[in-house]
């Protein structure tokens, strides 16, 4: 049983590869009709020939076979295509179930969705879907009053190219899921687990690639690199100088203190001697003044008794000795 499933898996992968390689040919073959079917005037577009809408005037419908509203206007759209030669336009259609990339490129969110294109300028048709209204939209040039799609949302823009790729990728995922659950008989939750694991692994791989690219473009500087001999010597000298600075400062402070003490002692002795000399001089001056005052007092006082000149001289000599 298992070998048969693996053979089916290989066949499915081959079919996906052939669809990717032969997609344009398959799209072109679908635009032709078989001999047993009536010829259709509606142009079928796919991922390989959608760029035709960038030239000339087009009316393009996005539909799905299971959509009831799309089934209701199918006959009207076919009649509108038959009148396209008289209207000077080309009428086309896109099956969103077969072309998820185109539905993403035009950002189709509702069905059916109709676009008018005139030389690459796209406008969304929001009118009635009757044949008369569709013909009047072209004949009366009502599309000129409709605001065109913004440039960044245009199907030919870079952003819509990316959107088309995402939608196309989602279609592949849906096909793989249907194959796992339908053909191989894998449980739905097992299929979900496989996709989750694949998403994590792809995310890790992409993150690793981004990190490698960023390291190559902007390499980070290493914090711990090998020191050169010159740098090591300069670093050692700086450390020694930092250790010697406190010792030098302490020695300088001790020397300054000793010099200040030495300078202070002689100056204090000199100040004391000077102060004592000044005090002695002041005492002598005061003694002289007091002696003079006493002499004046003695001279002024009248002599009670007659004294001889010799006695007066003896007194003066004694007073002078006292002063000295």
Q: Strands, DSSP E only, in the chain?
A: 43-44, 57-63, 90-95, 113-118, 121-125
Q: How many CB atoms lie within 10 A of CB 212?
A: 10
**Best CA proximity match to 12, nearest among 195, 178, 190, 179:** 179
Catalytic residue, chosen from 27, 46, 67, 216, is 67
Please pick, among 27, 46, 70, 218, the residue that the annotation labels catalytic: 70
Annotation says 67 is catalytic = yes
* CA distances to 103, 158, 235 from 176, in Å: 20, 28, 65
Please give the Cα distance from 100 to 105 (Å, whole number).
Answer: 9
- Is the Cβ–Cβ distance between 104 and 168 less than 8 Å? yes
Q: End-to-end CA distance of the chain: give it in Å, rounded.
A: 149
Q: Rounding to the nearest 10 degrees, give the CA dihedral for residues 142, 143, 144, 150.
A: 150
| Cα 16 to Cα 171: distance, rounded to the nearest angstrom | 11
- Report, as residue numbers or ranges, the catalytic residues: 67, 70
């Amino acid at each position: 049983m298992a070998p048969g499933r693996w053979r089916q898996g290989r066949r499915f992968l081959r079919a996906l590869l052939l669809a990717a390689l032969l997609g344009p040919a398959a799209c072109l073959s679908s635009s032709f009709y078989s001999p047993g079917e009536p010829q259709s005037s509606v142009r079928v577009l796919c991922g390989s020939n959608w760029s035709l809408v960038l030239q000339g005037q087009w009316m393009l419908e996005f539909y799905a076979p299971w959509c009831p509203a799309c089934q209701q206007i199918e006959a009207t759209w076919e009649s509108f295509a038959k009148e396209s030669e008289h209207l000077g336009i080309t009428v086309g259609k896109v099956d969103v179930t077969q072309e998820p990339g185109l539905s993403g490129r035009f950002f189709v969110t509702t069905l059916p969705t109709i676009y008018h294109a005139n030389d690459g300028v796209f406008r969304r048709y929001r009118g009635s879907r009757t044949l008369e209204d569709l013909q009047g939209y072209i004949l009366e040039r009502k599309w000129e009053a409709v605001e065109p799609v913004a440039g960044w949302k245009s199907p030919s823009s870079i952003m819509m190219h990316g959107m088309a790729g995402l939608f196309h990728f989602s279609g592949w995922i849906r096909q793989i899921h249907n194959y796992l659950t339908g053909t191989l008989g894998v449980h739905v939750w097992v299929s979900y687990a496989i996709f989750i694991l694949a998403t994590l692994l792809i995310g890790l791989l992409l993150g690793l690639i981004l990190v490698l690219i960023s390291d190559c473009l902007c390499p980070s500087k290493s914090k711990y690199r090998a020191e050169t001999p010159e740098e090591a010597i300069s670093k050692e000298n700086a450390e020694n100088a930092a250790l010697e600075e406190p010792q030098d400062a302490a020695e300088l402070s001790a020397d300054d203190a000793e010099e200040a003490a030495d300078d202070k002692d002689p100056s204090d002795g000199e100040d004391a001697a000077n102060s004592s000399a000044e005090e002695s001089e002041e005492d002598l001056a005061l003694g002289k003044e007091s002696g003079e005052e006493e002499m004046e007092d003695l001279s002024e006082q009248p002599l009670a008794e007659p004294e001889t000149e010799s006695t007066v001289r003896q007194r003066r000599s004694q007073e002078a000795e006292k002063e000295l």
